[in-house]
Amino acid sequence: MDVSQYLSVFLDEAKEHLQSLNDNIMVLEQDPENEDCINEIFRSAHSMKGMAGTMGYTRMQNLTHDMEDVFSDVRGGKIKIKSADIDVLLQCLDAIQEYVDNITENQDEGTEEHQNIIKALADIRNGASGGGADAADAAPAAEAAPSGGDAPAAGADGSSDYRAIKLDPSVKSTLEEAVSQGKKIYGVTVHIQESCILKAARGFLVFKGLEEIGEIAVSDPSTQDIEDEKFDFTFSLIVITDESKEKVEEIVKAVSEVEGCECGEFDLNSAKSAEDKEEAPAPAPAAEAPKPAAEPAKQTPAAAPAAGGAGGKKPVGKPVVNRTVRVDIEKLDVLMNLVSELIIAKNSLISAANTSGVSNGNVNEQIEYLESVTTNLHESVMKVRMVPIESVLQKFPRMIRDLNKTLNKKMELTMTGEDTEMDRTVVDEIGDPLMHLIRNSADHGIESAELRAQRGKPEVGQIFLHAFQDGNSVVIEVGDDGNGIDAEAVKNKAIEKGVVTPDQAALLTEKQCVELLFHPGFSTAKQVSEISGRGVGLDVVKSKVESLSGEVTVRTKLGEGSTWVIRLPLTLAIIQALMVIIGEEKYAIPLDSIQSIEDVSPSDIKLVENKEVINLRGSVTPIIRLNEVLDTESTKSPDEDMVVVITRKGDQSYGLVIDELMGQQEIVIKPLGKYTAKCKLISGATILGDGEIALILDTNSVI
Amino acid sequence: MNELRDKAEAGELIQYIIIKIDDEQYGINIKYIDNIVRMQQITRVPKVDDYLKGVINIRGEIVPVMSVRKKMGLAEDEITGKTRIIILKTGEGDLVGIIVDQVNQVLTLDSNNVEKVRYDDKKGKTEASFVNGVGHYDGGLVSILDLDAVVSEKDAKEKAQNAG
C-alpha cells in the first residue's frame, strides 16, 4: 500500500497528538488523579500507535504502544502515576517527537529503538518506577536472574518475537485443547531478508507451508496485517502440529528470501494472555521468561480489545470537532496574490474612470460596491490565513518545566492571549524568537531562589507572555520579575567587545545602552550555558522580527525585571496607507505608523540644539523635512503652512513634513529587490491605479 | 557524425540584439532579454548608487532600471525618441532594466566568429571591462556586453579599483 500520500496528514495529526499528550501529562503532574486527562492521554497514545502502525513506522508504534499500556493500567486503577513517572513519560514524548522529526525530514523514523524508555515504561507498569529511564537502565540487573536479565529476547530488536505473542482467551483454549490432544505447539519467528520486496508474499508462503502440516493458531502481526505488508521484516506465529520442530524450521526456511527463523516449543504457562496485563516479572522458567521490556512488538490482538474498552468507557464532553478542510499554505498564497492583483485592478479602474470622465453617479456606485467587495474579500482571505498563536506557545510551559530542572531555579510561566490570531507565515516564524526571549528570561532574568529570598522577592520567579491585538498589529510581551538589565554592565561589555568606543559609550542614555543588547554578536551571559549558548543572540531575534516588518523593544528596571515587547503587523501583503506627495514624487506611509496629521505654521518651529521642533499639544516634537531626507525639492514656499505627519518611534513622537496629502488607499506591497537594498528609507513599493509606482516609506528608518 | 562535423564547422548560431550606447555598438545575447520597452516614467529611489535610475512597472512587477552609461563612467543619458529600456533576466530570475540609446537590429552570429576577450585585455580600460567578446560580421565588429558585469552592483570605478 502506498501511504506516502497520507504522510502529511499523519505528521499533522501526530503533532497534534503529541501536543495533547504533552499538555495532559503536564496536567497529570499537578493532578495525578485526573480521569479525563488519563483518558485523553490513553486515546492520544492509542491513536498515535494506530497511525504509526498504518504508516509502517514500527519503532514509533512500539513506543506508543507501551505508553498506551501504561495508561491502560492507570485507567484500570492498577497503578498510579507518581511524579517520577512523569519524567519517563515526557522522555517518551521526546523520543516520539524525535521519530516525528525524522519522518518529517526524510520520511524515515530512524533506527533509534529507545529501549531504555521502553524498559522504564515497563517498570512503571510493574510498579517499580524508580526515577528516569537512566535508573531504569540499571534495573534489569537488579531485577536479577529469574526473569532472565541475560536473555535479551529476540523481540528486543523492536520487531517481533513469538515469545511475546499475546493470546486472547479463545486462542488460549484452542492451544490448551491441542495440548490435551497431544499435539505439539511451536512458536516460530520468521526473519525476512531486508532486501525482500514482496514481504507479504513471503509471509503468505510461510503460512501456506505450515498450514500443510498443521494449524496456525495465531500470528503477530495478524494474518491480515501480514498480507497488507504491515510488518517490519519479522513476524511470529504459533503453529499447532504433529510434526517435529525441525520439520517446521525446514518448511519455513524453504521459502526464498527468508533469512532465518527461530523456532521453539511454545510454553503455554508463560504465555501472556490478553487480560493478563499486569503480569509481574514472575519467576518463570529461565530463558523463555517473557521480560516485560522485551515486548515491544505485541500488537493487534491485545490492542483491539483495549481499544474497544476505551470506546466503551469514553467519557462524555469531548468537544464536537469543527468541520475543517486542510489547505496547503501555498494555495492560500496564490489566492492572496490574486486578491492583490484584483485590488490593483480595482485601483486602476477607479483612476481610469476619473480620468476618462465617465464617472457619473451610477459608475461611482458600482465602483464603491466593487471596492467593498474587494475589501471584504481581502479580509476573508486574510482571516483564512490567520491561526491562533497558541500553536507556538504550547511548547513553552514544558520548556519552562525542563528549564526549572536544568537551571535549578524556581520559575513559573503565565501566558495570556493564546487565542490571538496572526498570519500563518508570521506564526511559523515567531516561535524561535519567542523561545529565545523566554530562555533569556529564565537564564539571565530570574535570579536563583536564594538571591530572590535575599531581595525579598517571592521564591518562585514569574515569567509571563502576553499576546494581544492592538489596532492593526499584534503585540507580544515577554518578561520576568527577575534581575532586570544592568545598563552599566551592558555598556562595559559593549566597550570590551568593541561594539562602541568608550567615547561613544559615555554619550549613550540608559535606554540606548540597553539597546546595545541587540547588536550582533553581543551576549552578556558570563558563560555559555546550555540554554543561552545556542548560537542565537538577541540580534537574531531583532532581525527576525524586523524581517516580519515588526519591531522589538525592551523595558527594564534593574532589580525588578524586564519586558521585551514585540510588535508585528497583522498582515504583510496588503496595508492601508496614506498617500503623500513630497517634491513631485508620490510616497505611501503605512497608516498604522501614523498618529495624526497636523497643519503647522512655519512660525511655530523652534530650534532646540539646532534641530527643528514644534510644540505639539504640550510635548516637544522634533520635525523632519522629508524632502531633505529624500533628496528632492519641496514644491512649497517656505512661508506656507506645512503638512506634518506625526509618527512615533518608541515613546517619542516625530513630525514628518510633507508637501501634500493625497488620501488614504489600500496598497499592495511589492518587494523592491536587492539593487535598492542600500536605501533603508524605503521598505517596498506599490503600484498605483494608473500604473505608476509609489515607494513605501519606512518611518522608523527615516527617524 | 555528420551533425557533429557540421557543428564543428559552423559553430553554434547565436542571435544578438545590437544596441548603441554613446557611439559604440554592443551585442546582447537574445536569450537574456525578457523584453524591450520604450523609455517611460522612472520612479526615483532615493539614497542609492547614481547608476540606479529608479524602478519601473513591468506587468505588475517592480523592476529596477540602471544606466549603462553611468556604470561605464560615460556622460549622463540623453533621452531621445530612440531611447529604450532593455529588460534583462538575471541568473536568479529577477528582472533588471538597462537604458540604451538605441536598438539597431538583430544579428545572428556564428559562435566561431565571436572572439572571447581575455581578462588581461580588459585591465585598465574601464569601458572594456563590460565586454567579454568581440563578434565579426559583414558590416564590421561588435562588442558583446558582459551582462554579469553590467548588472552587478559594482560600477566602473569600483571595478577599476578591484582590478588594480
Query: Is residue A597 classed exposed, middle or buried when 0-12, 13-18 and 19+ CB atoms within 10 A define those classes?
Result: middle
Q: Does domain A4-143 have CATH number 1.10.3720.10?
A: no
Residue type, A184: K
* pLDDT at A350 exceeding the cut of 60: yes
Nearest Cα of chain A lies from the Cα of B111 at a distance, in angstroms, of 32
DSSP-assigned letter for residue A121: H
**Residue-wise burial string across A629-638, b where 16 or more C-beta atoms lie within 10 A, e elsewhere:** bbebebebee
Element (H, E) at A568: strand A561-569
In terms of pLDDT, which residue wins out, A200 or B80?
B80
CA distance A12 to A327: 12
pLDDT confidence of residue B27: 92
Annotated active-site residue A440? The verdict is: yes
In terms of pLDDT, which residue wins out, A20 or A536?
A20
pLDDT confidence of residue A579: 93
pLDDT confidence of residue A586: 92
pLDDT confidence of residue A530: 45
Q: Tell me the count of A-B CB pairs closer than 8 A.
A: 65
Residue A690: closest C-alpha in chain B: B57
> Are A679 and B47 an interchain contact pair (Cβ–Cβ within 8 Å)?
yes
pLDDT confidence of residue B43: 92
CA distance A427 to A459: 33
Residues 6+ positions from A316 with CB-CB distance below 8 Å? none
* pLDDT at A9 exceeding the cut of 80: no
Segment B87-111 mean pLDDT: 88
Question: pLDDT-based confidence at A651, cuts 50/70/90?
Answer: confident
> Are B62 and A630 an interchain contact pair (Cβ–Cβ within 8 Å)?
no
> Are A672 and B55 an interchain contact pair (Cβ–Cβ within 8 Å)?
yes
pLDDT confidence of residue A588: 93
As beta bridge partners, residue A466 has A416, A477
Q: Do domains A4-143 and A329-387 have the same CATH topology?
A: no
* pLDDT at A213 exceeding the cut of 70: yes
A122-155 pLDDT, tens digit per residue, is: 888 776 544 444 443 433 433 433 443 333 333 3
Chain A residues lying within 8 Å of B94, measured CB to CB: 673-674
CA distance A694 to A67: 60
CA distance A269 to A185: 12
* pLDDT at A695 exceeding the cut of 80: yes
Segment B86-112 mean pLDDT: 88
Phi and psi, residue B125, nearest 5°: -95, 105
* pLDDT at A533 exceeding the cut of 70: no
Residue pair A206/A255 in contact by the 8 Å Cβ criterion: yes
CATH classification (class only), B2-159: mainly beta
* pLDDT at A2 exceeding the cut of 80: no
Element (H, E) at A660: strand A660-668
Chain B residues lying within 8 Å of A698, measured CB to CB: none
Question: pLDDT-based confidence at A111, cuts 50/70/90?
Answer: confident
Residues 6+ positions from A186 with CB-CB distance below 8 Å? A238, A239, A241, A245, A248, A263, A264, A265, A266
The DSSP annotation for A398-448 comes to HHHHHHHHHHT--EEEEEE-TT-EEEHHHHHHHHHHHHHHHHHIIIIISPP
DSSP-assigned letter for residue A287: T
Nearest Cα of chain B lies from the Cα of A676 at a distance, in angstroms, of 6
Question: pLDDT-based confidence at A447, cuts 50/70/90?
Answer: confident
Decide if A632 touches B, using CB distance below 8 A. yes
Nearest Cα of chain B lies from the Cα of A357 at a distance, in angstroms, of 24
Measuring CA to CA, how many Å separate B116 from each of A214, A472, B111, B113, B149? Answer: 83, 57, 10, 10, 15
Best A632, A693, A702 member to test B by mutation, with max B CBs in 10 Å, is A693
What residues does each domain of chain A span? 4-143, 155-313, 329-387, 389-569, 574-702
- Choose the CATH number for A574-702 among 1.10.760.10, 2.40.50.180, 3.20.20.70, 3.40.50.300: 2.40.50.180
CA distance A543 to A518: 9
What residues does each domain of chain B span? 2-159
Q: How far apart are the first and last CA of chain A?
A: 62
CA distance B88 to B152: 12
pLDDT confidence of residue A392: 86
Segment A96-107 mean pLDDT: 82
pLDDT confidence of residue A83: 76
> Are A632 and B61 an interchain contact pair (Cβ–Cβ within 8 Å)?
no
* pLDDT at A526 exceeding the cut of 60: no
Segment A20-24 mean pLDDT: 84
> Are B60 and A687 an interchain contact pair (Cβ–Cβ within 8 Å)?
yes
Segment A591-618 mean pLDDT: 88
The DSSP annotation for A622-637 comes to EEEEHHHHTT---SS-
Strand ranges, E, within chain B: 13-21, 24-29, 33-38, 52-58, 61-67, 84-89, 95-100, 102-110, 114-116, 131-137, 140-145
CA distance A350 to A416: 44
A545-595 pLDDT, tens digit per residue, is: 877 878 888 888 888 888 999 988 776 667 889 999 998 899 999 888 899
CA distance A62 to A53: 9
pLDDT confidence of residue B97: 93
Nearest Cα of chain A lies from the Cα of B91 at a distance, in angstroms, of 13
Active-site position among A46, A114, A191, A378: A46
Nearest Cα of chain A lies from the Cα of B100 at a distance, in angstroms, of 19
* H-assigned helices in B11-155: 68-72, 119-122, 147-151
A244-298 pLDDT, tens digit per residue, is: 888 888 877 777 777 777 777 777 766 554 444 444 444 444 444 444 444 444 4
Q: Does domain A155-313 have CATH number 3.40.30.10?
A: no
Mean pLDDT of chain A: 76
Highest mean pLDDT range out of A68-82, A186-200, A634-648? A634-648
Q: List the 560-589 stretch of A: residues with Cβ below 8 A of B.
A: 585
Decide if B64 touches A, using CB distance below 8 A. yes
Q: List the 100-159 stretch of B: residues with Cβ below 8 A of A.
A: 153
* pLDDT at A234 exceeding the cut of 60: yes
* pLDDT at A411 exceeding the cut of 90: no
pTM for the model: 0.49
B32-63 pLDDT, tens digit per residue, is: 999 999 888 899 998 888 889 999 988 778 89
DSSP-assigned letter for residue A549: T
Identify which of B44, B47, B94 has the shortest CB distance to residue A585. Answer: B44
Decide if B60 touches A, using CB distance below 8 A. yes
Query: Shortest CA distance to A337 belongs to which of A368, A382, A367?
Result: A382
**DSSP 3-state of B22:** coil
Active-site position among A40, A68, A421, A477: A68
Please state which CATH number belongs to domain A329-387: 1.10.287
pLDDT confidence of residue A314: 39
Decide if B44 touches A, using CB distance below 8 A. yes
- Choose the CATH number for A389-569 among 3.40.50.300, 3.30.565.10, 1.10.645.10, 3.40.50.10800: 3.30.565.10
The answer to whether ipTM exceeds 0.85 is: no
As beta bridge partners, residue A260 has A191
Chain A residues lying within 8 Å of B61, measured CB to CB: 670
Chain B residues lying within 8 Å of A630, measured CB to CB: 46-47
Decide if B66 touches A, using CB distance below 8 A. yes
Residues in chain A, total: 703
pLDDT confidence of residue A476: 93
Q: How many CA atoms lie within 13 A of A623 on its CB side?
A: 23
